[in-house]
Amino acid sequence: MATNGEGKQSQQIKHQEIGHKSLLQSDALYQYILETTVYPREPEPLKELREITAKHPWNIMTTSADEGQFLNLLIKLINAKKTMEIGVYTGYSLLATALALPDDGTILAMDINRENYELGLPVIQKAGVAHKIDFREGPALPVLEKLVEDVKNHGSFDFIFVDADKDNYWNYHGKLIELVKVGGLIGYDNTLWNGSVVAPPDAPLRKYVRYYRDFVLEFNKDIVADPRVEICQLPVGDGITLCRRLK
């Protein structure tokens, strides 16, 4: 049995990363990853935005710091220049991407809530990367439909990151597969959905987790059967599925 001191230490560890979504069994191990390889290399603007977002009542929606580091490196590895992000919130993953892109790189960013985006905008501006971002407020599907209508947009995006309404993931995919280039990547966030994808049907789950779980399960089943992409599901953050377009 843990002593009171150990219990307090465990509780403290669990909440040091606000919006903690790691699927690791041990909070201490997750904290080790953050303190050893993530925080020491986290750019100051990302740290500032992470701390601002921690005070927001919906901070669970933020991209975790380790996933932000992963996205930043991934953008550089594939030499992405033209990207898209569906679901922005306060902009942590958006800023991680913008910092990784070359100075003439671009991000088409979409979210239904501009107020949340503007919470992080001063940090993005101070970081000198706001000129890379084209922010659109409102539902993403109508924007995607317009993009698909113009054949010049087909295959024009190097990387697309989706962290939005899970019930529309497959609808997004139908449009995004036309817009990402052959060999380009689409990343779908939260595909392990708080670990609920393996929970029994009668498991006690938070209301929003239970509501979206079936959509996540259905998407996971559909994406693995799509011959247009090769995929890799990673237990980073809340689970991210990378899709590389084949044809």
pLDDT at 3: 39
pLDDT digits (tens, 9 = 90+) for 99-125: 999 999 999 999 999 999 999 999 999
Domains along the chain with CATH numbers: 4-245 (3.40.50.150)
Its pTM stands at: 0.89
The 10 Å CB-count burial string (b at 16+, else e) for 97-111 is: bbbbbeeebbbbbbb
Q: CA neighbours within 13 Å on the CB side: how many for 100?
A: 26
pLDDT at 22: 65
Question: Mean pLDDT across the stretch 51-68?
Answer: 89
| Planar angle of CA 233, 238, 241, nearest 5 degrees | 25
Give the β-pairing of 157-162 and 82-86.
parallel
> How confident is residue 15, by pLDDT bands cut at 50, 70 and 90?
very low
